Chains A and B, each alone.
Chain A
Amino acid sequence: MSPDFPWLTTLIAWPVLGALVLWFAPRALRPRARVVALGVALVELVLLGLALTAFDTADAGTVQLTETHRWIPAIGASYAVGVDGVGLALIAMSVLLVPLVVLAAWREQGSGTTTSDALRHYLALALVLEAFIVAVFAARDVFLFYVLFEAMLIPVYFMIGGYGGAERRYAAVKFLLYSLAGGLIMLVGVIALYLQGPRGEDGFLTEKLTGLDLPTGTERWLFVAFFIAFAIKAPMFPVHTWLPDAAEQAPAGTSTLLVGVLDKVGTFGMLTLCLPLFPQASRWAAPVVIVLAVVSILYGALLAIGQKDLMRLIAYTSVSHFGFIVLGIFAFTSTSVAGSSFYMVNHGLSTGALFLIAGFLVARRGSQQIDAFGGLQKVVPVLAGLFLVAGLSALSLPGLSTFVSEFMVIVGTFARHPAAAVVATLGVVLAAIYVLWTYQRIFTGPPREEVAGFRDVTATERWAVAPLVAAMLVLGFVPGPALDLVRPPASVTLDVVGVQDVPAAALEGSDQ
């Protein structure tokens, strides 16, 4: 496929178009909203496939499929999109997740046969969110990135606040205010960064702002302004508290997109904005960030063990996993950075699967409390098996894709910060506890009365989860192609940051 075709713009515009159709559809089409939404999401997947063929994998370290147009020259903003390997991998992961969320929402928000208005709006919001996600991973203009970073809060806010559990309003407002506060602090940074740069009509382009010779103090302040926003988004200890609330209250599909995809914008921002724009400040801050990351790993895992609510538990496991991702990024070795990039993709698949399957369980039982379940293995064996696979991916079992990335992060980090790597490894042990213990409480033992007669996995549900499990297995056994996407950008990032790579010796054999 021609790399000159505006693939990214197409990928951004198509879901928006789909959402508009859903919102303004003639009445006759409304009952078919689910089919329309699924169709839009699947066509997006096909478009993504075409875009992948246009992307030159051999050159994954450079930004490709670029488009640059003047947008608001008066303030220096351009519409500039383009992806390197990492951006493309994350876009691919997001575009894969959306149709699955649409499928899952069929049961979650609907009554089976008719499509209510509420579901139609929900699906339209999901499609709008998809467009924002693709755009934010592709943005090559700091202003554009900021605009999307903030604007995509709105659909998520409505998806939590309009469709979630009893405390959904509280959760939605908390989510929005945390994110807005972080974003507005970043706004000051964005403005100050532009004024430090060359200015002009396209002064916000990332490439124009990279490699500036900033005064040390200014650079550090700017780094902090950006980093706070990303740390809230990611979320890292100690600004993670909105996530468990949001995940507990949001419908499972929303949580899938929120935790699986949206929060990646935080770590993606650290990787593609904080590091290249503020290299010296990044090196300056790395020790503190690494400590916070390790604390996140252990704290998230420990709290996950203590949770009674299934959705909160998954949210805390994510806090732990985001700790790994941040650790890898700030360890500054090519192995750890590549591992973090790959981890972002895998975590989306793994957490997405966990949230969706947990959503199926909750829909059957009518409760999110882990205590409310028991002995489900005998009642719904297939669902139990799927949950186990998703759970094992969360604890990074070899053979699943998460193992590869987690191993890369730990090995890469060990080369530079052995102590941090050793402590982080404890997180893996704790993961085994929270996953297996949860499995034990929900699925083993004698079936409780309330769970008797539950239906095993339905065809729709099967289709919603199967692609994720397949992807995790494929990437677990054959990670090569995916690693080809994330390795070159990692080297480029390290060059920009200006640190010497520390090779991780044992790694090359372990990928297989």
Chain B
Amino acid sequence: MSFTAPEIAWGALSPVVIVLVAGIVGVLVEAFVPDRARRAAQLVLAFGAPVGAIVAVAALWDGVSSSGGTDVLDGSLLVDGPTLVIQGVIAVLTLLALLVVADRTATGEDAFAPTAASIPGSDYEELARRKGLTQTEVYPLLLLATGGMMILPATGDLLTLFVALEVLSLPLYLLTGMARRRRLLSQEAALKYFLLGAFASALLIFGVALVYGYSGTLRYSEIAAATGTPSALDPLLLVGAVLLLVGLLFKVGAVPFHSWTPDAYQGAPTPITGFMAACTKVAAFGALLRVYYTIFPGLQWDLDVFLWTVAIATMVVGTVVALVQTDIKRLLAYSSIAHAGFILTGVVALDEAGISAVLFYLLVYGVATVGAFGVVWLVRERTVPQASTDVAADELAEAGDEDLRTSVLGEATHLSQWAGLGRTHPALAGAFALFLLSFAGIPLTAGFIGKFAVFSAAVDGGAWPLALVGVLSSAAAAFFYVRIIVLMYFTPAPGRDDAAVEPSDEDAAPVVESRASDENAAPGEDVALAGADGSSAVATLVAAPTATTTTTVVPSEGLAAVAIAVAAVLTVVLGVFPTPVLDLISDVARFLP
């Protein structure tokens, strides 16, 4: 018996290899590079890897677009158009997300616990905090997750699919539990995410087993060939296919497999939330597209019932539950669930237009998501001495380091705390409003083009009822996006004298009267949000507030601001001139069989 070593086309693998190698080197850096140089070394690796992956994708592009793609590692990985698009999108989004992850406040605090192993609230933790320790393992973990994400949509057999899913998931479970503040919440979220994720993985591997039992092979193309012939084992295939899809639908956060999403999104460190909300969804949808388009086209009639139900439930539940959220991260989590539903309508279209529509949607959704969570990370609570409740935001910049360290707290995630942000921080609020409008699908933002593309693919594929449900839930979803804009722009910040913000602005008497009554009587839904838990979690534990807090934007090293600016520009440019990107994607949007 002789062993033939498989021929490996390293060139076609290069985007994945670059990222994974950088991740592994990052682990070594943790072990061998001295403390003070570690962060710099990790940053070079972390930023270099996605850039290298983008270059590699660009280098592979022409070959793949002319040849249609190649299979690598004896068919375990398929490097075709959709693979490259998704790897490129993931690399770009990772780069953006990394900017937020790597950003630190002016006092050098990042979003992660000084030592994640310490017990929340312990002396050891306090010591680590005072020593200024940082957990630079974040970067290799993130790169390894990215590597998994880049493999997932490229897989050509079910076992590789499973391995890739685990490679992307395990680092994310860890990262979820590493928040600097509200650590119990973070750890609880990580545990939930891990348990439910393990459950989903089990379902997936069970599905793999059933499909293998039916077809006797793990290779996509061979399974597809086997599904062509009717046999007595059809129920086995159908159950296996559904379980397989469930495993992937879990990762995209589709209803009814979504219950981890709000908790994980809320508990994870916000920069990580942005990363996993954007990139995981891209990777999992990429895999879902490939599985649905290349393995099971023969089962379309049977699976349609299942996927239509899931898509409709996802859109409706995501939208309706988001309507009643009061925490910005949970709200964005439910909104991401609703978006998973919109993208699913493009997946079930089952044609080429559907593929490119979904890929474009993933890009614009990811960009806006990273940007939005970047904003959330910057908007902080700040303690205010009881004496003066109306500290101007500018004073923050002049305050000393020690003052900042003690007074600036965690993210101001309660919606009521966002009131008046549009007046105090117009640029940041403007960018956030732009992301929200893009989520809502308002024309001239990228989100509209994405929605238009998936709905039109769905209608073309005969799934017009899905498009109709999508449109109706978009209309409902607009309500909660708009509610945040109302809060930021039209609602005065609590405790802040509105007249002082707009001085000498109203000699027209009715306006003055109304503003005043507005503030005192406070009718309407916005103010109802300002519940007792408006200020929360001061210390590392979920603890009661010790002082009045106000909302501020923390001064940082500026990396997050760069990410937000880039995301905002992309959102506008892709909304007004999407042609180059759409053409690029639709040129290669064909799966290898």
A residues adjacent to B (C-beta < 8 A): 70-75, 107-112, 114, 116-119, 146-148, 150-151, 153-154, 157-158, 161-162, 165-170, 172-173, 176-177, 180-181, 184-185, 187-188, 191-192, 194-195, 362-363, 366-368
Contacts and interface: CB of A to CB of B under 8 A. Distances in A.
Contact of A188 (B464, B503, B507): B464
Contacts of B518: 166
B474 interface: yes
B443 A151 contact: yes
Contact of A111 (B356, B464, B489, B505): B505
Given A116-B503, A366-B509, A195 B460 contact: yes
Given A146-B443, A151-B444, A188-B471, A74 B582 contact: yes
Contacts of A170: 524
Given A72-B579, A177-B479, A169 B491 contact: yes
B135 to A, nearest CB: 41
Interface stretch (B177-185, B386-394, B447-455, B548-556): B447-455
A180 B505 contact: no
Given A74-B356, A173-B479, A184-B471, 5 more contacts: A75-B582, A117-B502, A150-B442, A187-B452, A192-B459
23 contacts: A72-B449, A72-B582, A73-B579, A75-B453, A107-B508, A108-B508, A109-B505, A111-B504, A116-B502, A116-B504, A118-B502, A118-B505, A150-B448, A153-B442, A154-B442, A161-B486, A162-B490, A169-B524, A172-B486, A176-B478, A184-B472, A192-B464, A366-B509
A168 B517 CA distance: 13
Contacts of A158: 489
B420 to A, nearest CB: 12
Contact of B456 (A75, A172, A368): A75
Contact of B507 (A111, A147, A162, A185): A111
Contacts of B133: none
Max chain A CB contacts within 10 Å: which of B437, B511, B515, B524?
Answer: B511
Nearest to B471: A184
Interface in B477-508: 478-479, 482-483, 486, 489-491, 502-508
Main secondary structure of the interface of A (DSSP, over half): helix
B486 A116 contact: no
A166 B514 contact: yes
Contact of B510 (A72, A73, A169, A366): A366
Interface in B501-539: 502-511, 513-515, 517-518, 524, 526
A178 B515 CA distance: 25
A191 B472 CA distance: 15
Contacts of A184: 471-472, 474-475
B502 A177 contact: no
Nearest to B585: A74
Given A188-B467, A195-B460, A366-B510, A168 B490 contact: yes
A181 B456 contact: no
Max chain A CB contacts within 10 Å: which of B456, B482, B508, B526?
Answer: B508
B266 interface: no
Nearest to A148: B443
Nearest to A163: B511
B583 interface: yes
B487 to A, nearest CB: 9
A451 to B, nearest CB: 13
Contacts of B460: 195
A147 B511 contact: no
A368 B578 contact: no
B92 to A, nearest CB: 20
A107 B517 CA distance: 23
A195 B464 CA distance: 12
Max chain B CB contacts within 10 Å: which of A107, A146, A173?
Answer: A173
A332 B192 CA distance: 65
A112 B489 contact: no
A207 B588 CA distance: 31
B586 interface: yes
A239 to B, nearest CB: 14
Max chain B CB contacts within 10 Å: which of A157, A165, A170, A180?
Answer: A180
Contacts of B479: 173, 177
B225 interface: no
A75 B356 CA distance: 11
Contacts of B507: 111-112
B475 A75 contact: no
B239 interface: no
Interface residues of B, number: 50
B510 A367 contact: yes
Contacts, number: 127
Interface string B74-117: 00000000000000000000000000000000000000000000
A187 B472 CA distance: 11
A170 B524 CA distance: 8
Interface in B544-593: 578-579, 582-583, 586
Nearest to A154: B442
B478 to A, nearest CB: 5
Contacts of B542: none
A194 B460 CA distance: 10
Contacts of B448: 147, 150
Contacts of A111: 504-507
B353 to A, nearest CB: 9
B468 interface: yes
Contacts of B505: 109-111, 116, 118-119
Nearest to A186: B471
A172 B586 CA distance: 39
Contacts of A117: 502
A172 B582 CA distance: 34
A180 B444 contact: no
A368 B510 contact: yes
Given A162-B489, A195-B456, A177 B583 contact: no
Contact of A161 (B437, B444, B490, B579): B490
Given A74-B583, A118-B502, A162-B490, A187 B578 contact: no
A424 to B, nearest CB: 33
A110 B482 CA distance: 27
B243 to A, nearest CB: 34
Contacts of A368: 510
**9 closest A-B pairs by CB:** A366-B509, A166-B514, A147-B443, A74-B582, A191-B456, A184-B471, A151-B443, A181-B475, A150-B443
B455 A191 contact: yes
A180 B437 contact: no
A156 to B, nearest CB: 13
Contacts of B524: 169-170
Nearest to A121: B426
Contacts of A180: 475, 478
A222 to B, nearest CB: 12
Contacts of A116: 502-505
Contact of A154 (B437, B453, B491, B506): B437
Given A74-B583, A173-B486, A184-B471, A147 B478 contact: no
Given A71-B579, A154-B437, A161-B489, A195 B503 contact: no
B441 to A, nearest CB: 8
Contacts of A165: 510-511, 514
A117 B501 CA distance: 10
Nearest to B473: A184
A191 B452 contact: yes
B254 to A, nearest CB: 22
A180 B477 CA distance: 11
A74 B586 contact: yes
A181 to B, nearest CB: 4
Contacts of B504: 111, 114, 116
Contacts of A188: 455, 459, 464, 467-468, 471
A4 to B, nearest CB: 25
A118 B211 CA distance: 64
Contacts of B486: 161, 169, 172-173
Interface in B312-352: none
